[in-house]
Amino acid sequence: MFPAFKRFFLLLLVSVFFFLLITVLKTWCSGGDFSSLIPSFLGKSGTNLSEGFTPSEKSALNLSDVEMISRLNQEYARLTQAVVPSVVSINTAGVRIEKEMNFFGHNFVRSYPTKGQGSGVIISKEGHVITNHHVIAGQEKISITLHDGKSYNATMVGEDPLLDIAVIKIASNETFVPLKLGDSSKVEVGQLVFAIGNPFGLGETVTQGIISAKERSLSDNQRDLFQTDAAINPGNSGGPLVNVNGEIIGINVAIYSRDRNNPSFQGVGFSIPSNEVREALEQIIQRGRPIRGYLGVQMSDLNPAVRQKLGYVRNDGSVVLNTTPGAPAEVAGLKSSDVVVSYDGEPVKDTTHLISLVQSSIIGKKVKLDVWRKDRLVTLEATITEAISPPVYEISMDQKAKDNIEILRGIGVEVRDLTDTERALNGTGVLVTRILVTSKANGILEPGDLIVSLNNSRISSSNEFYYHLVVSAAMRSTSLGIVRAGISLHINLPKL
């Protein structure tokens, strides 16, 4: 037993010896410290060794080396500090009423609470705030949160749904710090701009970019927009786009995104120029509503097929589809297939340009229209009247309203307004949300269809759609221009 124990002990000593020898050799070859092998003899703890750490005490560059960038950095900060206190966050609350049908086929009304968020900018010491119309449309309660965290209720002053501008007022007698509306006619492509707002409800956010383009158009109603690469996201709507002087040169209104379900900024945002905002603001403050010129004519751009059919060889101008009975266009003598080439002495580029000229005309002004008609030029004179928005369709208990309800129930199509992101993707129109099973629209329209026109007249809101649908469906079949799965279609709803 003892010889066996001696052999085992000897083998253990040899193993330990070679283990220590190999460890020493490895430490020596790697340039290590031999004292680390016996920390206990040196009063050190092997588990609490201090690391060598020497941070830099010197900046990579001196301020004198980047003097221009340093000044620019300070100026950006000063600009932000001066502008941000005038930008507000807007929270809204309301109730959405929907007609639904139960299992037994009985109609009933259900209400759903709605909430919304957006941005705005203070433009008067009295607390007037400019924002987008779609931020507050249909909402019963509007609250404003300032830069310092104070919250106030706000009331509606006036709105311009076509331009997508609304003016609200903070319910307080305090004095506020406004921003100046700049001159958007002086804006140049490439100039620096800053977008301030409340994206995703995160609170005040500042992004910087340039003016990427001017005179962009999302629809006939929103034209001549500024395009910018300053990051704009959902919630920025209604916030200001400012220049390096801290002046408002635009009101942020929309983004462009290919993903409808998850819209996000992709380097393309749009803002309403400040001069258009100022014009709408002045009219709202003075009269409570915007005032626009009205000609009463449905127009269309000249594509190659139309030019060939008419025998019109020029590329400019806008062709008349039809005129409204009794409107200034009909009184002046405009006819279908006329091409308006000049308006009050200004050459007409296209339909959007003509609409802009008409809407900005002074009410009561007599304007000359140069018209191409069957290979000859004709000069007409029209007196511009005020454009009156169609009345909002509301349910009341008089007989006319009851008739309208029956017409709408018979057609059986329910629509909603487009969001700002959907407008950026699709332009103008309304979205079909529901079709009643026993209605005329069943099998013709589908939920998700985008209705862009009714009887060749463009549609910009659900109220406008319902109003014209009631008038049309009671007398004749109704022609609708729709977009379904990216394909443009024309369909007809039968007369009731």
How far apart, in whole angstroms, are the C-alpha atoms of residue 257 and residue 212?
16
Q: Which two tokens stand for residue 369?
A: 């229209």
Task: Name, in order, each residue with C-beta under 8 angstroms of 91's C-beta and a sequence gap of 6 or more.
Answer: 115, 116, 117, 142, 143, 145
**DSSP-based three-state secondary structure for 5:** helix
How far apart, in whole angstroms, are the C-alpha atoms of residue 216 and residue 214?
6
Beta bridge partners of 228: 211, 269
Q: Which two tokens stand for residue 279?
A: 């014009």
| Residue ranges of E strands in 295-440 | 297-300, 318-323, 339-343, 346-347, 366-373, 376-383, 385-386, 413-417, 430-435
Helices 462-473 and 399-411: angle between axes, nearest 10 degrees: 90
Tally of residues, the chain: 496
Q: Which two tokens stand for residue 75?
A: 């100026």
* Whether 164 is catalytic: yes
How far apart, in whole angstroms, are the C-alpha atoms of residue 341 and residue 379?
10
In terms of Cβ atoms closer than 10 Å to its own Cβ (0-12, 13-18, 19+), residue 121 is: buried
Q: Pick the catalytic residue from 128, 133, 134, 353.
A: 134
* Whether 237 is catalytic: yes
How far apart, in whole angstroms, are the C-alpha atoms of residue 62 and residue 357?
56
Task: Name, in order, each residue with C-beta under 8 angstroms of 351's C-beta and a sequence gap of 6 or more.
Answer: 220, 299, 300, 301, 318
* Nearest alpha carbon to residue 170 among 134, 206, 130: 130
Q: How many CB atoms lie within 10 A of CB 322?
A: 18
Q: Pick the catalytic residue from 160, 164, 229, 370.
A: 164
The H or E element containing residue 482 is strand 478-484
* Whether 134 is catalytic: yes
Q: Which two tokens stand for residue 108?
A: 């009933």
Catalytically active residues are 134, 164, 237
